[in-house]
Chain A
């Protein structure tokens, strides 16, 4: 029977929801007929119709209350109330379009900015690796001191790897990974693509299971070389259309044997390297196996380790340090020991290069969010005060506290919902822009996306916002009380102390935060300008670089003599290009170098290098054709740093022999102007020591520098053509004009400066809107007072002064607070600053002045309105 009843209840509830009119009509009919019947009975017992009706009604009691009770029983109350609240809210919000628009846009901007930055932060830095027990998977870094983040590179070797492999007491697994660039030939097209080579344990180490086929066997690595390749899943899907029969197909690596596809690696590997197009077994060379061979080598040797359970990072690091020490003492020969000098320590962490910037951006967007919230609350407070009249009437008509609360929450939810939709759209486009940026900055990273984590955080934020925004007006009412009498003069009664103090406090807060951000952005802007002003030390605009890599040259020119012949031919060919004024070669490309000594870097160049790059010799001489590689030319920075009060000429540029003088060996012969080859920010960074190699020396990889006044694009295509002339199988890995390369190094700083300027501008705008809003509300509230003052003879400038003083005092306090806070907070910016002190006075002054000016403008409009108040009008009772 209960079951039957429940069925009926649901059915009726539903019917009432869908056709409320029917029940309403029935109820109306019912009550009316009852009243009629009652009246007729009264008439029959002798009353007049009018009396009868009156008695009926009185007996019936509260008709409306009765109706409400009946309606309650229908169970659709909740829904109909909600619909009614929604319609009322929408109407009400539409009437105050400016308010609604301001609130929605402010919130949307804040939500959008925050979500974007948080997504970036999460995707790039905070997200754990997609492996089991990610906290036990570590990458080994042999740390070398240096100013640039790239100095903390992996720099490991087969040597180190094979020793670490044996330490089963510390590690469950150990794997090697090396970046490789190969020319892949498909049909007649040759493309240079990036990929990597791994030792066989790599896949197991990162818990990767083959999507198709298998992974490498140990013997394919050592002794190897196994001519097999594994495709990353992304490549399999895009280039091979996820063909299940892809196994066994061949990939043709240029100038080498073909490799057979034996497997497909899962998506999880993308976290380690998004861009890779292939994975091959690492090919161990004889050089690798030489135990005395250098231990801390190329950048791209990544060493991954999985700690055994119970082994802490500190413990493992300690053991590794001991291991390195032992290698130095027992195994390294003189040459190898050289590389040990660069070794400072081992570490398991390397912060992502963008970490500082991202946290800074997040700080900025949180501040903007704060300002935005303050702003919105100010708007709400003033609107609530305006609505006191309306809400009082509602409450006197029987709306209880809870129904008013429901109404407020409904309005806020609508606003916040609109803001969230808009904000998410902004975040999506923000994410898109960040990814564009990232593909330039760090091409290996997976593009960021808005994932569940950030969605969740946004949701939490918005619920908090709704709660605060919704309940705030009601709090104000509780403190101020409803209007006792609804009369016209009360409409402009002075605002209660509470809401006034609240708005004032928020405006002060906004101003302070906006000031802090202006200072921060200003400091960054000046830093950026300073960086731009750095003289690169060479004439970047006239120089074009082309690169020939080991992988291109070595397979075909295995003998050094062959490579030497090639080098000379290349050099000659380059000189034939019309418009080329000078050609020189350098073993290293522009922005990396050989790190022999920890205190400086070495560059191996051809003798005319300084001429080509237009770098003047300051002391001594440059290179000559006959020089051996013992001859060194150091740059100014080196001279200033290590030989501050004497000439370095004659000395040795070797850390241990710095103070030994005048050996038989030539040593330092000259000092050249400082060239910031590693980027403009390296101006005070690592000094460079140049050594020269004659042309007839065979090199297997080098950069070609051409100085030319012709436009870069045509010179670069000439370069490529010439190389093909020399040997059709050769190709340049890249060609680029050096000024473009320098510019690219600034991308990160430029982007961040712009973004923070944008945030600061936003905060400034919002806080000024706040000042404006509070002041104009104030003026509106005090119309009578102002009118009276005007009537008793206060002149315009006095009234103006009064209003401006109001604005000035609030802004002034905010500025003072902001100033104090900046003094403390700018220390967090120090890493990003360049040639600017954290408490640079000019920046503060400029920020303060511009703020004051704009604040003045914001106060001006309400002030003008105050002046225009006609005393007669203001005093007239409405």
Chain B
């Protein structure tokens, strides 16, 4: 498995997507991304938590303490209305970027 450096915004987009399915805590988000990508993507804690913090600052996601599955306290995140709008926007941008790159890569020669 190769280590990927996420382009700006890709990580936020994935987090938003995961949260669109329901509330989750940080560890859980990392797990989901890992599993859903067939273990191709691994998020480092060093990028995950600062990103989550920034997203919460901007109001994309909301954070609250709650009880996790092993009966421990954990911080859970949910998507806000703003976050939903952001998700749509990020997806569009991601897709157009990927398309553009594909065109360059797919050229002959």
Contact = CB atoms under 8 A, between A and B. Distances in A.
A complexed with B: yes
Interface of A: 1, 4-5, 7-9, 11-13, 26-27, 29-31, 33-34, 36-38, 40, 59-62, 65-66, 69-70, 72-75
Nearest to A7: B59
Nearest to B28: A37
Nearest to A74: B57
17 contacts: A1-B85, A1-B89, A9-B59, A29-B74, A29-B75, A31-B49, A33-B73, A34-B26, A37-B70, A59-B45, A60-B45, A66-B46, A69-B53, A70-B49, A70-B50, A73-B50, A73-B54
A208 to B, nearest CB: 61
A40 B27 CA distance: 12
Given A30-B74, A33-B72, A34-B27, A61 B57 contact: no
B90 to A, nearest CB: 12
A240 B26 CA distance: 79
Contact of B70 (A1, A36, A66): A36
A26 B57 contact: no
B18 to A, nearest CB: 16
Contacts of B25: 30, 33
A37 to B, nearest CB: 5
B59 A12 contact: yes
A30 B26 contact: yes
B35 interface: no
A245 B51 CA distance: 75
Contacts of A30: 25-26, 49, 74-75
Contacts of A33: 25, 27, 68, 72-75
Given A12-B56, A59-B45, A61-B46, A26 B63 contact: yes
Nearest to A61: B46
A19 to B, nearest CB: 14
A8 B53 contact: no
Interface in B23-53: 25-27, 44-46, 49-50, 53
Q: Most chain-B CB neighbours within 10 Å: which of A4, A9, A38?
A: A4
A277 to B, nearest CB: 69
Contact of B68 (A5, A31, A37): A37
Contact of B82 (A1, A12, A29, A59): A1
Main DSSP-derived SS at the A contact region: helix
B3 to A, nearest CB: 13
Nearest to B51: A73
Q: Most chain-A CB neighbours within 10 Å: which of B57, B74, B86?
A: B57
Nearest to A38: B27
B26 A70 contact: no
Q: Most chain-B CB neighbours within 10 Å: which of A30, A31, A66?
A: A30
Q: Which 9 A-B pairs have the closest CB atoms?
A: A8-B59, A33-B74, A30-B75, A69-B50, A70-B53, A73-B53, A73-B54, A37-B27, A34-B27
A8 B27 contact: no
Given A36-B72, A69-B50, A8 B45 contact: no
Contacts of B44: 61
B101 interface: no
Nearest to A22: B65
Given A12-B57, A37-B68, 15 more contacts: A1-B85, A1-B89, A8-B57, A26-B65, A29-B75, A30-B75, A34-B26, A34-B27, A37-B27, A59-B45, A62-B46, A66-B45, A66-B49, A73-B50, A75-B57
Contacts of B45: 34, 59-61, 66
A26 B75 contact: yes
Nearest to A4: B82
Given A30-B25, A66-B49, A73-B50, A5 B82 contact: yes
Contacts of B65: 26, 29
B99 to A, nearest CB: 23
Interface in B71-103: 72-75, 82, 85-86, 89
Nearest to B30: A34
A30 B65 CA distance: 9
A569 to B, nearest CB: 99
A27 B50 CA distance: 10
A9 B57 contact: yes
B102 to A, nearest CB: 28
Nearest to B89: A1
A243 B54 CA distance: 66
Contacts of B89: 1
Contacts of B72: 33, 36
Contacts of B54: 73
A785 to B, nearest CB: 52
Contacts of A72: 50
B23 to A, nearest CB: 14
Contacts of A75: 57
Q: Most chain-A CB neighbours within 10 Å: which of B50, B72, B86?
A: B50
A41 to B, nearest CB: 9
B44 to A, nearest CB: 8
Contacts of B59: 4-5, 7-9, 11-12
A566 B46 CA distance: 109
A26 B54 CA distance: 14
Contacts of B56: 12
A405 to B, nearest CB: 26
Contacts of B26: 30, 34
A40 B56 CA distance: 27
Contacts of A4: 59, 82
Contacts of A62: 46
A36 B89 CA distance: 35
A235 B53 CA distance: 68
Contacts of A34: 26-27, 45
Contacts of B73: 29, 33
Nearest to B85: A1
A8 B75 CA distance: 20
A154 to B, nearest CB: 74
A60 B45 CA distance: 6
Contacts of A38: 27
B58 A9 contact: yes
Contacts of A73: 50, 53-54, 57
A63 B75 CA distance: 17
Nearest to B56: A12
Contact of A40 (B58, B63, B70, B82): B70
A786 B31 CA distance: 69
B27 A5 contact: no
A875 to B, nearest CB: 52
A8 B70 contact: no
A8 B49 contact: no
A562 B56 CA distance: 103
Contacts of B49: 27, 30-31, 66, 69-70
B92 to A, nearest CB: 13
A8 B59 CA distance: 5
A40 B85 CA distance: 36
Nearest to B45: A60
A728 B106 CA distance: 122
Contacts of A61: 44-46
A12 B49 CA distance: 17
A16 to B, nearest CB: 8
Contacts of B70: 36-37, 40
B108 to A, nearest CB: 40
Contacts of B63: 26
A33 B24 CA distance: 13
Q: Most chain-B CB neighbours within 10 Å: which of A11, A27, A65, A66?
A: A66
B58 to A, nearest CB: 5
Contacts of A7: 59
Contacts of B74: 29-30, 33
A496 B74 CA distance: 55
Contacts of B46: 61-62, 65-66, 69
Contacts of A60: 45
A74 B63 CA distance: 14
B50 A8 contact: no
A66 B50 CA distance: 7
A44 to B, nearest CB: 11
